Amino acid sequence: MLVLGIESSCDECSVAVVEDGKRIVAHRIATQIEHHKPYQGVVPEIASRMHTEWILSVYRRTLADAGLKAGNLDGIAVTSRPGLSGSLLVGLSFAKGLAAAAGKPFIATDHILAHLYAPRLVEEIEYPFIGLLVSGGHTLICRMDAFDRLTVLGTTIDDACGEAFDKVAKYFGMGYPGGVIIDRLARRGDSNAFAFPDPSLHKGEHRYDVSYSGLKTAVVNQLDQFWNRKFEKSPENIAASFERAAVDMLLRRLFRAIEDTGITRIVAGGGVAANTYLRQQLSAGPEVESHFPPLELCTDNGAMVAGLGYHFLVRGERSDWNVNVQARVQRFRRTYP
Ligand code: KG4
Ligand code: ZN
C-alpha cells in the first residue's frame, strides 16, 4: 500500500511516499530555516506563506522521485494537529484537494504520534514502550501500547526542551536554530564548568514533569552564581553545562517512569532526539533498550506521517472532509489523543 504523507505543522514543508508503513520510496524535506533565521525563531505568518508557495512543487518532485502519479497512490495522510494553525491549514487543505481530485482515501493524523512512529520506518519495535518526544514545541514522556494508544506520564510545565536550547543560544548570540549549535559547541566544552540546578518541586502528579524556565533563567541571568571558577566562562563550557542540565532533567524523569512501569524499552523522537549527549546517555547502559530515529527523521518530516497514516488507512479509517486543524490538543495530561 503506497501512502503519501504531508507535513507542514511548523517550518518544514515535507512530502513522502511510504510503502506499507515501512519502506520510504521517496522523501523531500524543504526547510524554511533560512527564512526564519533573521528573526531567530519561527515566524508563523512567514511559515504559512512559505508552505503555500512550496507545497505543490515539493509534492510534484517527490512523486517524480518515486516515478509515480497521483493515481498510483493508495491513500493520503496529513498532519492536522498540533502545530501552527496557518501552517497546518496549508498541508491539510492541499491534502484534501489532492485526495478529492484523485479519489483517494484521506486521513488526518497527529504530529505527536507521528514523531513517535518515526523509528519504526527503519526497524521493528515492539509495544509497549516509553516514548520520549522532545522538540521545539513538545516535551513528553509517555507510555505507548500501540501506534495510536498513548498515555501521557509527564510533560513540561513551561518551555519545551528544544525551545530552551533555542532561547539560550539566542541570548548568547550563538546562532539559529540553537539545538544543533549548542550540541556542536558542547562537544568541545566541559559540563562541570557550571552546576545548574534541577527543579525538585515535582512530586505526586508532577512526578514525571520537567520545567525549563528556571534553567533558562539560571543560564541567562544568573550564570555567575553557578560558575565553578576553576573553568573558563566560554561559550563551549556554557553550552556543555546547559546541555547536560537540560538532558539530565529529562533522563531522571524517564528513568523514574521506567522504574515505575517496568518497561525498559525507550523510543525517542523530535528534534532534540538528535542531541549527541542524549543519544550517548541512553545508549550507554545495558539496562534499557533504546531506539532513536536516524537524524533526518528526528526533525519534522513527511515520512513519519505517511508511515503512521498507513496503519489507520489499512484498517479502513478515513477522516471527514470537514476535519479542521487543531493548534493544541485537548486533555493533554491524560489519555491521548
Ligand atoms: O521536531 P522539530 O523539527 O520541530 C518541532 O516539532 O518543534 O524540532 C526542532 C527542535 C529545535 O528546538 C532545535 O533546536 C532542536 O529541535 N534540535 C536539537 C538538536 N537538533 C535539533 N536540540 C538539541 N540537540 C540537537 N542536536
Ligand atoms: Zn515536530
> Which CATH class name applies to 2-117+300-336?
alpha beta
Residue 314: pLDDT band (50, 70, 90) is very high
Mean pLDDT on 152-176: 94
Residue 286: pLDDT band (50, 70, 90) is confident
Question: Contact, 9 vs 84, CB < 8 A?
Answer: yes
206 pLDDT above the threshold of 90: no
DSSP-assigned beta bridge partners for residue 106:
76
Please identify, by atom number, the ligand 1 atom nearest to the C-alpha of residue 278: 24
Q: Which residue is closest in CA terms to ligand 1's atom 7? A: 136
CA distance 309 to 108: 8
Mutational pocket test of ligand 1: of 33, 117, 132, 299, the residue with most ligand atoms within 8 Å of the beta carbon: 299
CA distance 267 to 102: 36
Nearest alpha carbon to residue 26 among 92, 73, 81, 88: 73
User: For 13-49, how does the pLDDT look when each residue is reduced to its tens digit (9 = 90+)?
Assistant: 999 999 999 999 999 999 999 999 999 889 999 999 9
Cell of 193: 564548568
207 pLDDT above the threshold of 90: no
User: For 54-84, how does the pLDDT look when each residue is reduced to its tens digit (9 = 90+)?
Assistant: 999 999 999 999 999 999 999 999 999 999 9
User: For 72-121, how does the pLDDT look when each residue is reduced to its tens digit (9 = 90+)?
Assistant: 999 999 999 999 999 999 999 999 999 999 999 999 999 999 999 999 99
Q: Return the pLDDT at 336.
A: 59
- Neighbouring CB atoms inside 10 A of 149's CB total 15
Residue 148: pLDDT band (50, 70, 90) is very high
Residue 203: pLDDT band (50, 70, 90) is low
Q: Return the pLDDT at 198.
A: 82
Could you identify the residue written with the cell 504520534?
113
Residue 201: pLDDT band (50, 70, 90) is low
Q: Where are the domains of the chain?
A: 2-117+300-336, 126-292
330 pLDDT above the threshold of 80: no
Angle (CA) 98-330-245 rounded to 5° is 105
Nearest alpha carbon to residue 15 among 80, 62, 84: 62
Q: Return the pLDDT at 260.
A: 94
Nearest alpha carbon to residue 61 among 8, 17, 114: 17
- Strand pairing report for 75-81 and 23-31: unpaired
Topology of the domain covering 126-292: Nucleotidyltransferase; domain 5 (3.30.420)
Q: What is the mean pLDDT of the chain?
A: 94
Cα-to-centroid distance, 208 and ligand 2 (Å): 21
Q: Which residues line ligand 1 (CB under 6 A)?
A: 10, 135-137, 162-163, 165-166, 177-180, 183, 270-272, 274-275, 299-300
What own/partner pairs with CB < 8 Å and gap ≥ 24 does 287-296 have? 288/258, 288/264, 289/264, 289/265, 290/265, 290/266, 291/119, 291/123, 291/125, 291/129, 291/265, 291/266, 291/267, 292/119, 292/268, 293/118, 293/119, 293/121, 293/122, 293/268, 293/269, 294/122, 296/29
334 pLDDT above the threshold of 60: no
Cα-to-centroid distance, 125 and ligand 1 (Å): 23
DSSP-assigned beta bridge partners for residue 77:
5, 107
Residue 137 DSSP symbol: S
Q: Return the pLDDT at 227.
A: 96
Q: Return the pLDDT at 10.
A: 95
331 pLDDT above the threshold of 60: no
Which secondary structure element, helix H or strand E, spans residue 14, and what is its range?
A: strand 12-19
Q: Which residue is closest in CA terms to ligand 1's atom 16? A: 271
DSSP-assigned beta bridge partners for residue 81:
110
The answer to whether domain 2-117+300-336 and domain 126-292 are alike in fold is yes
Question: Contact, 52 vs 89, CB < 8 A?
Answer: no
**Percent of the chain whose predicted confidence (pLDDT) is above 90:** 91
Question: Contact, 271 vs 299, CB < 8 A?
Answer: yes
Mean pLDDT on 255-273: 95
